Amino acid sequence: MRVIQRLGVSAKDRDLAVKWAKRCLREITRKDYELPVDYAQARNDLVVTVKRAGHRSSACAMGITIDISAYSKGTSALLEYPAFARDPVIGSRDAITPELVLASTIAHEVSHFVQYRYGPDTRWLKKRFRKPHGEGFQEIYRILRSKVVNPHLQDV
Ligand SMILES: [Zn+2]
């Protein structure tokens, strides 16, 4: 995993972002999900850029870019994409800890990375990975939210 730390990002915040990115990769590379890579390979493939510029986070087949501005400000609201904002598993959440808002954002962006990087070579994603927030994306994100992020929501 190559980690790029932009100006204004502390080592602590960078490490927090990396921790959640690794948790997401560890889950989605379990054999049950049939991705064409194992955890070690996926870790090797992913570039994580952490910045603090007040922009949106984003992702592509090369990696994810996480903007930690919202986390630094202590935001407690996770605003999801309108098409699934009301979904009980992958939707928006209110009054959660800033770390779990960040974790959800990372899970969202890792899902984009997985869809574009491995979608073409994954049996159940092949035909539905292309649409940015379409079916394939939502299935990946549903796995990551339900297994990696949401279990922590009950703690608060
Ligand atoms: Zn997105």
pLDDT in tens, the chain (156 residues): 999 999 999 999 999 999 999 999 999 999 999 999 999 999 999 999 999 999 999 999 999 999 999 999 999 999 999 999 999 999 999 989 999 999 999 999 999 999 999 999 999 999 999 999 999 999 999 999 999 999 998 754
Distance (Å) from CA 115 to ligand 1 centroid: 11
- Burial, 65: exposed, middle or buried (Cβ in 10 Å; 0-12, 13-18, 19+)? buried
Start-to-end C-alpha separation, the chain: 31
**How far does the centroid of ligand 1 lie from the alpha carbon of residue 123, in Å?**
22
> Distance, CA 136 to ligand 1 centroid (Å)?
12
Look at residue 155 in the predicted model and tell me its pLDDT. 56
Helix (H, G, I), strand (E, B) or coil at 95: coil
Domain residue spans of the chain: 2-151
pTM of the model: 0.97
Ligand 1 centroid, distance to 142 Cα (angstroms): 13
**Which CATH topology does 2-151 take?**
Collagenase (Catalytic Domain) (3.40.390)
